[in-house]
Amino acid sequence: MFKDLFQKKRKYATVPSQRLEQTKEPAEGERPKREIPEGLMSKCPKCGSIQYSKELEKNLKVCSECGHHLRLNAPERIAVTLDPGSFIEFDAGMKSVDPLGFPGYSTKLEQQQLKSGQIDAVITGQGSIGGHPVIAAVMNFEFFTGSMGSVVGEKITRAIEEATEKKLPLIIFSTSGGARMQESILSLMQMAKTSAALARFGESGGLYISVITDPTTGGVSASFATLGDINIAEPGAVFGFAGRIVIEQTIRQKLPDDFQTAEFNLQHGQLDMVVHRKEMRSTLSKILELHDVKGGF
Amino acid sequence: MAGDLPFEKPLVEMRKKIAELKQFGVEKEIDFSDEIARLEERYRLLEEEIYSNISPSQKMHLARHHGRPTSLDLIGLIFTDFIELHGDRLFGDDLAVVGGIGKLEGIPVTVIGHQRGKDTKDNIARFFGSPHPEGFRKALRLMQQADKFRRPIITFIDTKGAYPGNTAEERGQSEAIARNLREMSGLGVPVVCVVIGEGGSGGALAMAVGNRVLMLEHAIYSVISPNGAASILWKDASKADQAAEAMKITADDLLAMEVIEEVIPEPKGGAHRDYESTASAIKDVIVRHLHDLAGLDADELKEDRYRKFRKIGEFAESQAAEEVFSEEPALSPE
């Protein structure tokens, strides 16, 4: 049934690089620092170095100067991680509604859809990595800061159930500001829903690899993102429950720069490894291969 | 009466008037009993009107009332032979969570709750009822112990949320909450959760994955505190009342959304006015739900809990996605 709907595969990863700069537009009256033909050059948000957008993309959006991993949107992530042409999307037509009649939510959803070219904050489907078939869910920070409402919770739960049924490994690429406030309690309950589905998947013996990308916080970090059999993060990715500002207000202290980074979490035992984007495909492929044979000797 | 909230002001004023009249009558030896009776009748009507129209933001203030019964207050009134157990066996004993074994109508049960402090000193020791990872891990340890000995689990939810501090993050706050969500879904004993005050976000949910989730009439339960929502949405935390109205956080709202199963009525004016009748109402409802669940075996209880959470969420499904992607991929794998 799904096949008929989604076989006509869309091509992924086509986001003009100038979008990266849109968020960085200078305030009115402020003199733009450099004149750059739109889209031709990109600036690293971390070290500020200017590089050709094409070069940056060839480098998987990792800054050649400082190694900073720029955020990828979901189509880009699928393009750089899954085997080309292997991905078949599930539930592509699932849309958020405004269950609470929350002020401004419907308008905001439309704006987010126009801005990101996405329907909601996650893409799920089946594909392969290094020839190993996987069920994958890829979150999208560009859409509504990757917030989890009913659609994200439902699509991820269905993906987990699909993986359970098909006995396939599951990989979730997380990035999210947390639960979507505008769906209030329904968003919160998605944490329980996805985690319960993972419990069943785990009982069935399925392998779940959680890939944490920048940033992963709040309701997503406190549910499926931390529940991997193996938890991997990209270098520098912010990963934690409470936001830095909230914590600083609570403890009345300034936090160190590396607080809640992937490296900080690795040091505190919350991650299995921190993997460079260039190594991600091969690392995932290797882990999948190591789980191909169960039992042995 | 101590601890009156702003919306109760008309009642306070009227009580004062009645008391003054009584006093005046005694002093001057004049019989005002007719006037007093009339005023008292008007007071009852006003009380009826005010307490039957409590707005979400007023409920938020009731739910956070400093005199509201805490988990330990209710445990003392509902259970007998309660023994408190401590520690997560990993790091420490988080006093923001209390738990132990007691008897409910003579049957041993495990009871766990968030614990706010009763005064400033107590609140500091208990982090105002906001658990660190060790609090959630203690709760899980006690739940797994209950599972082993086939004891039903009752949890009381009363927290602004998980503790937002660096120490909590370093010890894996996210992991502690997530693990509870996953493990609670797999418990083979009945789990009944009651939101008694404030159900704040993941820190509340981490102890509220139950077969039945119930709420006291004036309790609130939300994804983020109304204060937090207001500061994010409107950059103004003082608009918490406005956020409380928009977020649908009351027991009635959650019942309508089928997130909870039942609303437990509170005494007039709120649970802080009468601990005993509050406790007795909670007890009756818990006992009834445990009787309902008694016929289910471990697998059926898990299935029941899975289904409860599985169906939550509202969305629309269309046949085909909008064509939002363009033609050629800009990035390709190496």
Which segments within chain B are labelled E, that is strand? 80-84, 97-104, 107-114, 153-159, 191-200, 212-216, 220-222, 262-264, 315-317
**Confidence label for B325 from pLDDT (cuts 50, 70 and 90):** very low
In a domain, A275, yes or no: yes
Domain match, A44 and A166 both: no
**Confidence label for B182 from pLDDT (cuts 50, 70 and 90):** very high
In a domain, A31, yes or no: no
In a domain, A6, yes or no: no
Per-residue pLDDT tens over the stretch B88-112: 999 999 999 999 999 999 999 999 9
Q: Looking at the partner chain, which of B223, B229, B316 has a beta carbon nearest the beta carbon of A97?
A: B316
Compute the average pLDDT of residues B173-178.
Answer: 98
Length of chain A: 297
Check residue B217 and report its DSSP letter: T
Query: What are the chain A neighbours of B224 within 8 Å (beta carbons)?
Result: 179, 181
- Domain end, chosen from A53, A70, A87, is at A70
Domain of residue A46 covers: 39-70
Boundaries of CATH 3.90.226.10 in chain B?
61-311
Number of domains in chain A: 2
pLDDT of residue B272: 93
Supply the Cα-derived Rg of chain B in whole angstroms: 23
Compute the average pLDDT of residues B272-297.
Answer: 97
Q: Hey, which residues does A138 pair with through a beta bridge? A: A123, A173
pLDDT of residue A31: 52
Counting other chains too, the contacts that B168-171 makes at CB distance below 8 Å and 24 or more residues apart are: B168/A241, B168/A242, B168/B132, B168/B133, B169/A240, B169/A241, B169/A242, B169/A247, B169/A259, B169/A260, B170/A268, B171/A268, B171/B91, B171/B132, B171/B133, B171/B134
User: In the predicted model, what is the mean pLDDT of chain A?
Assistant: 89
> Cβ atoms within 10 A of the Cβ of B59, count?
22
pLDDT at B242 over 90: no
Q: Architecture of B61-311 per CATH? A: Alpha-Beta Complex (3.90)
Give B35→chain A minimum CA distance, Å: 47
Compute the average pLDDT of residues B8-30.
Answer: 90
- Check if the beta carbon of residue B249 is closer than 8 Å to that of residue B221: yes
Q: Hey, which residues does A125 pair with through a beta bridge? A: A89, A136
- Check if the beta carbon of residue B132 is closer than 8 Å to that of residue B173: yes
- Check if the beta carbon of residue B96 is closer than 8 Å to that of residue B136: no
CATH number for the domain spanning A273: value is 3.90.226.10
Using CB atoms within 10 A of its CB, is residue B191 exposed (0-12), middle (13-18) or buried (19+)?
Answer: buried
Domain match, A203 and A112 both: yes
User: In the predicted model, what is the mean pLDDT of chain B?
Assistant: 92
User: Could you tell me which chain B residue has the CA closest to the CA of A73?
Assistant: B331
Helix (H, G, I), strand (E, B) or coil at B326: coil
- CA A202 centroid distance within chain: 21
Q: Is A47 annotated as a binding residue?
A: yes
Give B97→chain A minimum CA distance, Å: 18
- Check if the beta carbon of residue A113 is closer than 8 Å to that of residue A187: no
Domain match, A59 and A189 both: no
Supply the Cα-derived Rg of chain A in whole angstroms: 19
**Confidence label for B230 from pLDDT (cuts 50, 70 and 90):** confident
pLDDT of residue A36: 54
pLDDT of residue B130: 96
Of B237, B212, B207, nearest in space to B224 by CA? B237
Q: Looking at the partner chain, which of B201, B221, B314 has a beta carbon nearest the beta carbon of A150?
A: B314
pLDDT of residue B95: 98
Compute the average pLDDT of residues B150-179.
Answer: 96
Which segments within A12-102 are labelled E, that is strand? 41-43, 50-52, 88-90, 94-96
Compute the average pLDDT of residues B234-248.
Answer: 87
User: Could you tell me which chain A residue has the CA closest to the CA of B318?
Assistant: A93
Domain match, A132 and A169 both: yes
Domain match, A211 and A247 both: yes
Which uninterrupted H or E stretch holds B185?
helix B173-185
Q: Looking at the partner chain, which of B166, B313, B332 has a beta carbon nearest the beta carbon of A84?
A: B332
pLDDT at B322 over 60: no
pLDDT of residue A37: 62
pLDDT of residue A35: 57
Domain match, A80 and A154 both: yes
Using CB atoms within 10 A of its CB, is residue A256 exposed (0-12), middle (13-18) or buried (19+)?
Answer: exposed
> Cβ atoms within 10 A of the Cβ of A105, count?
21
Chains A and B: how many Cβ contacts under 8 Å?
A: 250
Query: What are the chain A neighbours of B225 within 8 Å (beta carbons)?
Result: none
Give percent of chain B with pLDDT exceeding 70: 95
Domain match, A57 and A129 both: no
Domain match, A52 and A151 both: no
Q: Which of A54, A143, A188, A201 best probes binding to B when mutated, by most B CB atoms within 10 angstroms?
A: A188
pLDDT of residue B331: 52
Listed as ranges, residues in chain A with pLDDT below 50 are: 1-11, 13-29
Query: What are the chain A neighbours of B232 within 8 Å (beta carbons)?
Result: 181
In a domain, A215, yes or no: yes
- Check if the beta carbon of residue B245 is closer than 8 Å to that of residue B295: no
Domain match, A90 and A46 both: no
Identify which has the larger pLDDT, B322 or B122.
B122
Query: What are the chain A neighbours of B168 within 8 Å (beta carbons)?
Result: 241-242
Domain match, A229 and A259 both: yes
pLDDT at B3 over 60: yes
- Check if the beta carbon of residue A176 is closer than 8 Å to that of residue A195: no
Identify which has the larger pLDDT, B322 or B278.
B278
